Structure 1
Amino acid sequence: MAKFKINGKWLLGIGYPQGPVISVAMSVINTNYKHSTEDEVRELLLQVLAAPQDYLEHALLDKIAVKLYQEEVEKPAIIPLKEEAVPYTVYGASFIDEGAVKQMTGAVHLPVAVAGALMPDAHQGYGLPIGGVLATENAVIPYGVGVDIGCRMCLSIIDLPETVLTGQYDKFKKELESKTVFGAGGILKADKDDAVLDRKEFEEIPLLKRLKDKAVMQLGTSGSGNHFVEWGIVEVLDVENKLDLPPGRYVALLSHSGSRGMGAQVANEYTKLARELCPLPQHVQHLAYLDLNSEAGQEYWLAMNLAGDYASACHHLIHKRLIKAVGGNILLRVENHHNFAWKERYEGKDVIVHRKGATPAGEGVLGVIPGSMTAPGFIVRGRGYEQGLNSASHGAGRQMSRSKALKSITGHDLRAVLKEHGVTLIGGGLDEAPMAYKDINTVMAAQQELVDIIGRFTPKIVRMADPGPSED
């Protein structure tokens, strides 16, 4: 009969922590208790796990006990949450999923939380819900910013009449397809002369130094998932002429993407560091934060801002290539981040405002809120509503998870809705079909006190990555 031997998987299964104690326990048990039964070994090891201090002098089990005891002593204490949450306002509560509300409720119990708001496009994400806005006191939450740091919208209105797009449709489609690169592995060999690559942070922060080559290769490219570049028509509705552009219809280019692999790596590395320095209860551990007075906090802040500027540079290079290719010139550009953290004022004090999938909407601030590949997007002007933390939605927001969309939407369904709206799609997957998203008009109606609509964008030719995982 074979003798019972334990392995790492077995130890993890009975509750032993990952780490050096695993190999020590395997060595001790398999050497000294090889004639014991599995039940006897399990009971013995569970006793040591429950009270390692009682076995520090044990003739055989002391080595296991010492490892467990060291981990227990060195383990930082869990930081308690606020007993009473800070208030937060919900917009469009009737069509926000329970998971997003639960995540936001956890966030406003953080010790550093000052105020919160949940936008009408909100749905469950990681850390903060997508559509979640959180103000904190002198602390930044990497996963409150998001994995795709500086993910943003960029709209260029150009000096070409609508008839040029309709009359040269094939040319616009060809240039859009040939002059864009999408996806996690997407790289571009041109357009590398940009000041963002000369930033000192690439030399001063070790992580960024390691990521610079990737940043160089991906500059001017777009992400996967819900990221896009699209030609369409903008209708300027700004009767007050705040845009300094006469009301009318113009050809426009709209893009949505972020800081690519560099931003994702920064987010993951500093979230890991934050979780080590800031142990929180399990249900909010992704909201671990960094004190802005600490070296780690300052380093992340610099890296985050660089990633945001890098994302902006990617958009500008994409727009430069495409607008030149169709013989246009930019009349007006409107752009904004929606995965970022800002230093702002709230009720008379300095705070850090995290907008995870939310658009800045301070008084007079311009922004772009897209719909879906067939639904309109909107140029908006912020109304500076403090109760909403000077924010608005960043889009329509998902009403189906990606997996649910893939199961319930067919290629026929997608082709039918594209035809109905006169939209040409290059790339894209069923998980990005318009039916997977909330009605953008319903979302906009729920945030009338947050923004004024001053323009409408109608997509005509949409370019997305081939189906695959999202970076957003």
Structure 2
Amino acid sequence: MTMTQATEQKHEIIANGEATAIMPTGGKQKPITVIGTEAIRNTFDDLCLQQAINSRQAPGVTDLVLNPDAHCGYGAPVGCVMVSPSHVYPGPVGVDIKCSMSLLQTSLPADAVDDKKVRRALIKAICDRTPTGAGRGQRNVPKSRHVDEALGKRVLVEGASRGVCEELGIPAEWANHCEDASHVGHNDSTGSLALRLEKLLPNMYKFADKMSQLGSYGGGNHFGECEVVQVGEDKRSREAAEVFGLVDGGVAFLSHCGSRGIGHQLATGQFKALQNKFEQWDIPLPGQDKQLVYAPLGTAEANAYLDDMALGANFATVNHMLINALVLEAFQEVIPGTTGQLVYFISHNIARKEIVDNRPAWVHRKGATRAFPGGHHALKGTPFAKTGHPILLPGNPQAGSAVMVADEGAALSCYSVNHGAGRQLGRKAAKRALDQAEVDRSFDETDILTNCRSYPIDEAPAAYKDFDEVLHSVKSAGLASEVARLKARFVIKDGDKADD
């Protein structure tokens, strides 16, 4: 058997529906669940598939789902779901803890942002408040919120508590429109987070600088987009949009960012600590990949990781909430009288404790979005108990983004969907293959303004998978239905290396 044949056999994907398949691992484990049409499955390269197999064969893992946006990541593929009732894994969360999406619905009609001068003024007003770029924070913009070290500590421990929101000028009721407004430590208390933070602080590099990054986007694939909402014409879409607070033909603002420098520091610290333990104890690594280190639940190592993840997740939550408050303030400066309401805030780089197959387990979503349908027990008491919660899926500025809602079939994917379109070209490949002038011209032709002199070529729409085909996979697999499409009018972006 040739090496090529061996590779093909090892990575065999067996279709069992138009947009569903399984991938055996070569062992006796339950096979990997694959979501995607044949066209989408052909975008999965060998490294992505091998990472999926390594992750499925890792200790304690009971389920592995590969979503249509999947591509190679940090140990585990970006675009995967990994379930374990007994272990926690930093890799399937990644270095940008709780990278997330949020959507703000404004009171403005679409024609309020038709004029290019108005859009340019909005771009300036937003950039005066929400910096982009690696290492940049509130001190780099003129109309910032001051975040001192004491408030930063509260953010990490409390998340979007009423007190934190009030101090930062964030409407406290927005916390009711969050997947998780705050996270607690390994023992389900904030006390363990406070103790963990005090232990970490003496060795934290430039802590005050990292706290000043609250209310900032960072670089790479993170962005802010002014959108026009197009709600579907069917009854279900209209009813869901009303519950979500989406306004057909209205102006909304979509944001993508995470835990910035503090999340990266916490995550890399955990990777180093666990890698040292594996080396010290001579424990074999799944797939011989040092990025797939893990810790059994109940151990000191697992407790430390869960605490650090919660600290980073709390920062990411407040970061998004503050960005939305600053964006609304910018709209009000340019167009007085504008009001706004947070539609939803939802993460795609997190491990959450959920009930899977009637027992508690940690569901690791790396570049994957939670998808609970109406009637799911976890939504009881929320505004979305009957409809299911909003799912925010970014595509690209020219193809648009989507708001979806889960269907009962989402059980197949451990109640998860993709987190967006997913890359089809790596950053270096995109720079080699794409033409900068053509990319910039495409934005002019579609009348989408940006804050960039030249749009980052490694973030060009052509670097990402066909968004309509990705959505077709999700719908055909019975995971979720589209409620609305978001069409970009301008984009806030930075050309630095991606945070996640």
Q: TM-score scaled by structure 1?
A: 0.78
**SS of structure 1 residue aligned to 2:219:** coil
Unaligned 5+ segments in structure 2 are: 1-24, 159-190, 333-337, 374-387
Provide the rounded CA distance (Å) in 1 between the counterparts of 2:499 and 2:71.
Answer: 16
Matches within 5 A, 1:279-298: 279-281=283-285, 283-298=288-303
Map of 1:85 onto structure 2: 29
Asked if 1:321 corresponds to 2:298, the answer is: no
Query: In 2, are the aligned partners of 1:86 and 1:113 still within 8 Å (CA)?
Result: no
Mapped to 2, the partners of 1:273 and 1:283 lie a distance apart of 17
Matched, 1:368 2:368: no
Counterpart in 1 of 2:171? none
Query: CA deviation digits over 1:367-395, x for unaligned, max 9?
Result: 20001132211111122522211111111
The alpha-carbon deviation at position 198 of structure 1 amounts to: 5.8
- 1:434 corresponds to: 461
Tell me, yes or no, if structure 1 residue 358 matches structure 2 residue 368: yes
Letter in 2 for 1:239: R
Partner of 1:462: 491
- TM-aligned CA deviation for residue 101 of structure 1: 1.2
CA shift, 1:118, in A, is 0.4
For 1:156 and 1:176, locate their aligned partners in 2 and report how far apart those are by CA, in whole Å: 14
Give the 3 Å change call, closer, same or farther, for CA 216–146 of structure 1 in structure 2: same
Contact 1:82/1:109 (8 A) holds in 2: no
SS at match of 1:447: helix
SS at match of 2:123: helix
- 1:85-116 deviation digits (Å, cap 9, x = unpaired): 33221112233222211100111111211101
Q: Which amino acid aligns with 2:155?
A: V
1:335: how far off? 1.7
1:19-418 equivalences in 2 (<5 Å): 83-92=27-36, 93-167=41-115, 168-189=118-139, 190-191=144-145, 192=147, 195-197=154-156, 199=158, 201=193, 204-205=196-197, 206-207=199-200, 210-211=203-204, 212-237=207-232, 238-241=237-240, 243-244=242-243, 245=245, 248-278=248-278, 279-281=283-285, 283-327=288-332, 328-363=338-373, 364-384=388-408, 385-418=410-443
Q: Give the aligned partner of residue 62 of structure 1.
A: none
Runs of 4+ residues over 4 Å off in structure 1: 197-200
Identity of aligned residues (%): 30
Which of these two proteins has the greater Rg computed from alpha carbons? 1
- C-alpha distance in structure 2 between counterparts of 1:213 and 1:173, whole Å: 27
Partner AA of 1:443 in structure 2: V
- Deviation readout 1:228-253 (Å, 9 max, x if unpaired): 11212122332224542475211111
Q: State the Cα distance separating 1:82 from its structure 2 match.
A: 9.9
Q: What is the CA–CA distance in structure 2 between the aligned matches of 1:223 and 1:82, rounded to whole Å?
A: 41
**Cα pair 1:235 1:455 within 8 Å, conserved:** yes
Q: 1:114 to 1:208 in 2, by over 3 A?
A: farther
CA contact (8 A) 1:202 1:209 kept: no
How big is each residue's C-alpha offset from its partner over 1:163-196, in whole Å with a ceiling of 9 and x where there is no partner? 2112422322221332221122102134226751
Cα distance in 2, alignment partners of residues 150 and 185 from structure 1: 18
Once residues 392 and 358 of structure 2 are traced to their aligned partners in structure 1, the CA distance between those partners, rounded to angstroms, is: 28
Provide the rounded CA distance (Å) in 2 between the counterparts of 1:355 and 1:444.
18
Provide the TM-score with structure 2 as the length reference. 0.74
Task: Render the CA deviation track for 1:52-87: whole Å, top value 9, x for unaligned.
Answer: xxxxxxxxxxxxxxxxxxxxxxxxxxxxx9953332
**Deviation readout 1:232-288 (Å, 9 max, x if unpaired):** 212233222454247521111111010011111111111122223343335333111
Q: CA deviation at 1:366?
A: 1.7
Check whether the contact 2:196–2:307 (CA below 8 A) recurs between aligned residues: no
Amino acid at match of 1:101: L
| Matching residue's letter, 2:54 | G
Amino acid at match of 1:276: N
Find the aligned partners of 2:430 and 2:448 in 1 and give their Cα distance.
Answer: 20
Distance 1:208 1:303 in 2: 12
Q: Distance in 1 between matches of 2:448 and 2:85?
A: 45
Equivalent residue of 1:148, what SS? coil
CA distance in structure 2 between the partners assigned to 1:249 and 1:332 by the alignment: 17
Distance in 1 between the 2:99 and 2:496 partners? 18
Are the structure 2 counterparts of residues 442 and 180 from structure 1 closer, same or farther at C-alpha, using a change threshold of 3 Å? same
Q: Aligned partners of 1:137, 1:127: CA distance in 2, in Å?
A: 19
Which amino acid letter does the alignment assign opposite residue 354 of structure 2? E
The residue identity in structure 2 corresponding to 1:259 is: S
Contact 1:131/1:394, CA 8 A, preserved across alignment: yes
Matched length:
391
CA contact (8 A) 1:360 1:382 kept: no
2:289 match: secondary structure? helix
| Cα distance, 1:250–1:408 mapped onto 2, change above 3 Å | same
Q: CA RMSD in A?
A: 2.1
Letter in 1 for 2:362: I
| CA deviation map 1:141-171 (0-9, x unaligned) | 1111111001000110111111211242232
